[in-house]
Structure 1
Amino acid sequence: MLELNKGVDILTDIGGVKGEAEVDRVLREAMDDTEFAKIEKIKNPLARLKIANTIALGQPDKVIVNTGNDQDKQRIRELCLTQGEERALAIPGHTLHYDLAEEQARIVDRTFYIANPEDTVSSLANRIERTEAYDYVKKHMVGMMKGMILVIGFYSRGPVGAVAAIPAIEATTSLYVCHSAELLYRNCFDQFDAEAERVGHFFTNVHCQGPNRAEDLPNARVFMDRSWQTTYSTFCTYAGNTLLLKKGNHRFAVDRATYYRKGRELSEHMFITGLEGPGGRVTYFAGAAPSGCGKTTTAMVGEKFISDDLAQIWIAEDGTIRSINPETGIFGIIEDVNWTDDPMILDLLRHEKAEVIFSNILVKDDKPYWVGSGEETPKEGFNFQGEWFEGKKDANGKAVPLSHANARFTLRAEVLANCGDKLHDPSGVITKVFTYNGRDADTMPPVRVARDADEGVVIGASIVSKATATEVGATGVKRQPWANQPFIPGALGDNMVAQFEFFNSKDIAEEHRPIMAGLNYFLTHEARGGEGNGLLGEKRDVKVWLGWLDRLIHNEVASIPSPVGLLPEYEDLKNMFAELLDKEYPKELYDKQFALYADKILARVDLQYQAFKKEENIPARLFEIYDEQRKQVEELKAKYGAIISIEQLKEFNG
């Protein structure tokens, strides 16, 4: 069990500010009359204490309170440009930010959970003892903000008043981070005190990029103090390391759901989108996928977009499962965003229709370019490695691409043509389908459905994915339980228990029990007897896979039982490809995509089985399901060989 407020609170102890009078003095001395008048509207004593100690710790030259009003937001935009953190592009409202060349993804090797001696931390995460973290903060963060502007913002991670929404403070010396927060989160300055009282707590985030030099990167750290729900980020600029409202606070929300809302709430690395089905009905999906594995593309398939990255989920009093987006914007990977796959997004990136921050792409004549746009691109310009020309090599002799593989765009969700009208609804959306996918090139079919909640939890626990450019230095194929692995602070066994309890909860009304499915649109020709690493199908085919799931939950299509889940019938998919995508779906392609490759499935089961056996307190039900899958696959292999066709599967089922 995670115990809150245990151990020394590093921020307040090193900051040294104690008592209401001392808090008032620090705030008064740090701010001019205008800013002090703003902070006086925040009455929560703990929030004021945290802010005062942040100021005492960092010792900034100036403190700004961002209320989220038009005047404050415009001031932040202008400061981003004058401070040099962003530059204006040709289209009004579009700006460009560059991170350090060596730090353009999450620094997973320097990201740590601050732990008390008795705390259990995920085996897939980095741990640092409280005493060591204390020493680091005292050595590096005292006076770190001298010569800088500190911006204090107040945000809600979710629509204000939503059951699973949590307020947070973002204190940063980066105007780019503050600008990003205004696009991605709901500023709740006016409601902060009431929200903090309703929820019973808030998250605190402290960031300082320091001198912003490559030589400081070895000292860069992202700390998450689970006990005091406070994050620290130093010597780094990439938003995934510095916009602590995002993945830093997501980790705290996972803790909250696992230990204090078990069986009632989940905090997931999931998109949320509403898909229109026959008769104009809308079915809402929540889907997990590791960063860089198509979550945004999948979310954009829906006609009622809610989220492309994170979801707060709870069981409502009426027995439905409800989901909200803790964010209100998109921090999306821009590589391969093109007119074919992402026309709505590209329309916003190429026209004066939205406020957009680009990062780590190439610019030429104040126009942004990136890899995979499908457009004609310049042979030279300025990009994330400085002056660039086609054929340029880095220090290791490797070609420098036009844009970084983790280059991003940031914009508000409301500007999307398919933005759902329930984005800001505190009651959330009723969620009927949960999907799980990774970057699986050779094993699982494009879509499969669990036969019950337990199998669904196991599908989520069994995600694997090829490493992507979202993490510095990551390589190879990785296990990604629930696609949330980098953001689960506690023991995986604890999180798994929470998953089983949630989806099996008696509080979910029978008519509202969801279906849980595996998605995979990364199968390659090579993996199915062909040549090359090209995709076996297209990414846009996911509209059919989601459409089939919508029809399945409404009992409008058939399914075929298999060891890995229920599979679709060919005729249903053929008709849906024609209806939804206006394209043919050859039987030969279906046979390749949905054949079961026994040895690969068995190897995958063994990989997961052995890995989870090393963990503590993993529910026995997980291993029972793996055993059942192994037995079924071995029976099929004994009868039909290493490759089992759909026809053979049907024959086996009788």
Structure 2
Amino acid sequence: RTLNKRILRKNHAPRWQLFIVYHHSFPINKPRCSHVTEAFIRIVNNRSPTTSTHNYHQIRSRKRSIDVSAMKPILFVVTKREFLFCRYSNEFGRVARKLSSPNVGLFRQLRGISVVSGDLRNLSPKVRLYVEENVDLCKPDNIHICDGTEEENDNLLKIMQKQGTIIPLPKYENCWLARTNPADTARVESKTFICTENKSDTIPTPKEGVKGQLGNWISPSDMQDAVKQRFTGCMKGRTMYVVPFSMGPLTSPLSKIGVEITDSPYVVASMRIMTRMGRNILDKLQATGDEFVKCLHSVGVPATGFVESPEWPCDPERTIILHKPAQNEIVSYGSGYGGNSLLGKKCFALRIGSTIAKREGWLAEHMLILGITNPQGKKRYIAAAFPSACGKTNLAMMTPSLPGYKIQCVGDDIAWMRFDSNGQLRAINPENGFFGVAPGTSRSSNPIAMDTVFRNTLFTNVALTSDGGVYWEGLENETPKDVKITDWRGQAWVRGQDKTPAAHPNSRFCTPAKQCPIIDPAWEHPDGVPISAILFGGRRPAGVPLVYEARNWRHGVFVGASMRSEATAAAEHKGKVIMHDPFAMRPFFGYNFGKYLEHWLSMEQPSRQLPKIFHVNWFRKSNDGKFLWPGFGENSRVLDWILRRLDGEDCAQETAIGYVPKSNSLNLEGLKESVDLQQLFDIPKDFWREEVYAIEKYFNEQVGNDLPKEIANQLVDVKRRVDNM
């Protein structure tokens, strides 16, 4: 009993029992024999039928050899004399200290699986139980508890290099290139599901005969079957990595903790960049006993058992991404691509995050956060929601063309926002890195990103140059002509001859945010930054003006709900299709979109300072297909107008869709290219009649009775105003 108490106290696991079984009893009166007995230490759950206290007492009373061949491997060895001394004299202290040492088997194995790195004592009871459950399910060869250190990261990079998963890029400092299986290059929306008891909790009921587009639902029983079919034994021959991480600064009341279990070292290395990952997360969980978001991932094993590309194992035929909001649980199988495997990102930060936010009264959004200081030194923060590959990173890292303006980056993809006790909306970037689209990034389009990504970065599916660097579409003027290029598939590629792109359209860079030269000083402030304006936008080649301001908060929510944009490379959809993408969240809603709209509307309360809401469109084209607005650094001119509106300046005129800049109120001083403002701000009546019809049809078919009355009323109002144009 004393021994049990001593060890269990060290192990911080009061729900577990210790059993000592000994056999091979050599006679102690024969000194030439090795006076050794094997002490089998096994910690089992109280509910486990494998061993019981009753059996233990039987073993003690018989005092003879016991067949333990079916038990777990030997975990510790003591001499028989030492063991008997402890047994008969009640002096258990010395052996207890030995067994409590972190280097003995008690803390080096779990369910009989070796812990090759890390210490089980660092796991809180809840984390340990979660790990044990998945060890039993996935059957890994060994377990690695990640600590986030440089040494650990270096070892993982060496492992991946040896496996052929990554290759070094000697042109840069600590940069690597990964090439995925060609079937595993983007998010798979059609295989992404939310699991709830009631289907209506996840998705609105679409019109009869219409396929819903606002998420996919799966029942708990079907989810259980899917997990069992795919995950049983899926980690045989692999290491199970336990990745503790925080979304947001660890000291922030807005932050949340997760634990990802994965068999992919690529995921571990990427999570180390994209989240705050390491031992300190486990320490906090152990100190507080808090709950955490459970994230289980495996690259999978094809049903045939044959792994086509050992350097990038995946199971694209059976890929599935599952979310269970009620248990804060994420399960992802079959894909190594970041959007499907870095479970802190879209899965946690948006899908599970939005359900937590609804319960707790805040917002988890697909938004960049930037700080902008005007020439007078007044600084404001803006959040902006654009679909993937629509310029979030470029705007967040913009170099303003307007003199006297300064942009600083808080985040480029996700914002968690909560009203504080003073009624001010404050936001944090829950991520720790940038997972940006590479093609199109260049010195001319985003010089800040170019100054950020060429050290400590993991590139995926970009092209390789013969001088040890990388290439993608957009770097034509920055890559010497004599440099040979190998495309993302590993094939030789010649500029001007090959018709396929050198880099995959959704190729990525994964780089630490702290390397950004314009990272905002408050980007890790635990209270977040105050948000003064929210922008919505997308790729609209026709009809939608450069910028317009919503009439009020409710109209702004309607503007977000009505967003449409060309499909992007980050999703599996192909072609230039204009898709509805409300709030840029269509692929990421964690619950019923109608309830999501109600949640946004509920933010309007008398004690709160609501941000102004705007819609922007950098991508409008002329009749001959050319962009009407130069974009990039020139977008600072639009932000300048927005800031002046925040200050109450009378520089806007009313239209059917909202407030647009008055004539000559947009600062074009020093603009190198001439722009046609009339085309940029034209609001064609026929176009907007069709637009309103498309929005109305979408709401009727996709949201139905779940559409809040306030949004339906906004639709009626804008329809009337357009008819009266």
Same structural fold, with TM-score higher than 0.5 when normalized by the shorter chain:
yes
Q: Structure 1 residues 119 and 611, CA, compared in 2 at 3 Å: closer, same or farther? A: closer
Between the aligned partners of 1:216 and 1:488, the Cα distance in structure 2 is: 25
1:494 counterpart residue number: 595
Q: Partner of 1:267: helix, strand, or coil?
A: strand
Map residues 179-198 of structure 1 onto 2, 5 A cutoff.
Answer: 179-187=269-277, 189-192=279-282, 194=284
Q: Structure 1 residues 330 and 33, CA, compared in 2 at 3 Å: closer, same or farther? A: closer
Q: Partner of 1:312: helix, strand, or coil?
A: strand
Cα pair 1:106 1:238 within 8 Å, conserved: yes
2:657 counterpart residue number: 564
Indicate which of 384, 388, 393 corresponds to 1:296.
Answer: 393
Tell me, yes or no, if structure 1 residue 417 matches structure 2 residue 513. Answer: no
Between the aligned partners of 2:645 and 2:193, the Cα distance in structure 1 is: 42
Indicate which of 620, 625, 637 corresponds to 2:709.
Answer: 620
- Structure 2 unaligned spans of 5+: 1-43, 51-105, 204-211, 302-306, 399-405
Cα pair 1:26 1:52 within 8 Å, conserved: no
User: Which residue identity is paired with 2:355?
Assistant: D
Q: Partner of 2:664: helix, strand, or coil?
A: helix
1:27 counterpart residue number: 110
Between the aligned partners of 2:279 and 2:163, the Cα distance in structure 1 is: 25
2:409 counterpart residue number: 305
**What RMSD, in angstroms, separates the aligned Cα atoms of the two structures?**
2.5
Between the aligned partners of 2:637 and 2:286, the Cα distance in structure 1 is: 42
2:136 counterpart residue number: 56
1:593 counterpart residue number: 680
User: 1:474 deviation in Å?
Assistant: 4.2
1:651 counterpart residue number: none
Q: Partner of 1:153: helix, strand, or coil?
A: strand
Cα pair 2:300 2:333 within 8 Å, conserved: yes
Please give the per-residue CA displacement for 1:118-154, whole angstroms capped at 9, x wherever unaligned: 5532242122222222222212211111111121111
Please give the per-residue CA displacement for 1:489-527, whole angstroms capped at 9, x wherever unaligned: 22111000001111x12341xxx331110011010012x
2:695 counterpart residue number: 608
2:183 counterpart residue number: 102
Map residues 105-184 of structure 1 onto 2, 5 A cutoff.
Answer: 105-117=186-198, 120-122=201-203, 123=212, 124-184=214-274
1:642 counterpart residue number: none
Tell me, yes or no, if structure 1 residue 520 matches structure 2 residue 617. Answer: yes
Between the aligned partners of 2:658 and 2:288, the Cα distance in structure 1 is: 42
Cα pair 2:428 2:528 within 8 Å, conserved: yes
Cα pair 1:196 1:202 within 8 Å, conserved: no
Tell me, yes or no, if structure 1 residue 402 matches structure 2 residue 492. Answer: no
Between the aligned partners of 1:87 and 1:538, the Cα distance in structure 2 is: 35
Q: Structure 1 residues 507 and 150, CA, compared in 2 at 3 Å: closer, same or farther? A: farther
1:235 counterpart residue number: 334
Map residues 78-477 of structure 1 onto 2, 5 A cutoff.
Answer: 78-90=158-170, 91-117=172-198, 120-122=201-203, 123=212, 124-187=214-277, 189-192=279-282, 194=284, 201-211=291-301, 213=308, 216-249=315-348, 250-258=350-358, 260-261=359-360, 264-301=361-398, 303-350=407-454, 354-365=455-466, 366-373=468-475, 374-376=477-479, 381-390=485-494, 399-475=499-575, 476-477=577-578
User: 1:20 deviation in Å?
Assistant: 8.8
Q: Structure 1 residues 182 and 515, CA, compared in 2 at 3 Å: closer, same or farther? A: same
Cα pair 2:471 2:485 within 8 Å, conserved: no
User: 1:413 deviation in Å?
Assistant: 0.9
Between the aligned partners of 1:564 and 1:320, the Cα distance in structure 2 is: 27
Please give the per-residue CA displacement for 1:140-178, whole angstroms capped at 9, x wherever unaligned: 211111111121111111111323211001111111111
User: 1:387 deviation in Å?
Assistant: 1.1
Q: Structure 1 residues 445 and 102, CA, compared in 2 at 3 Å: closer, same or farther? A: same
Cα pair 1:167 1:192 within 8 Å, conserved: no
Q: Structure 1 residues 93 and 24, CA, compared in 2 at 3 Å: closer, same or farther? A: closer
User: 1:197 deviation in Å?
Assistant: 8.0
Q: Which moved more, 1:49-58 or 1:63-72?
A: 63-72
Q: Partner of 2:560: helix, strand, or coil?
A: helix
| Moved >3 Å (runs of 4+) | 17-26, 31-34, 191-200, 211-216, 376-381, 390-393, 533-537
Map residues 477-492 of structure 1 onto 2, 5 A cutoff.
Answer: 477-492=578-593
User: Which residue identity is paired with 1:31?
Assistant: S
User: 1:459 deviation in Å?
Assistant: 1.0
User: Which has the greater radius of gyration?
Assistant: 2
Please give the per-residue CA displacement for 1:325-383, whole angstroms capped at 9, x wherever unaligned: 11011000011101111111113345xxx311111011122211001124336685332
User: Which residue identity is paired with 2:668?
Assistant: F
User: Which residue identity is paired with 1:276?
Assistant: T
Q: Partner of 1:607: helix, strand, or coil?
A: helix
Please give the per-residue CA displacement for 1:30-49, whole angstroms capped at 9, x wherever unaligned: 234752x2x31222x22221
User: Which residue identity is paired with 1:236?
Assistant: S
User: Which residue identity is paired with 1:514?
Assistant: P
Query: TM-score w.r.t. structure 2 length?
Result: 0.78
User: Which residue identity is paired with 1:495?
Assistant: Y
Please give the per-residue CA displacement for 1:564-610, whole angstroms capped at 9, x wherever unaligned: 1111123231xx332xxx32575x61111112111111211111122
Which one has the bigger helix percentage? 1
Figure out how many residues of one structure are paired with residues of the other and give that number.
Answer: 593
Please give the per-residue CA displacement for 1:254-305, whole angstroms capped at 9, x wherever unaligned: 11122x12xx300000000101113112110000011011111111126221
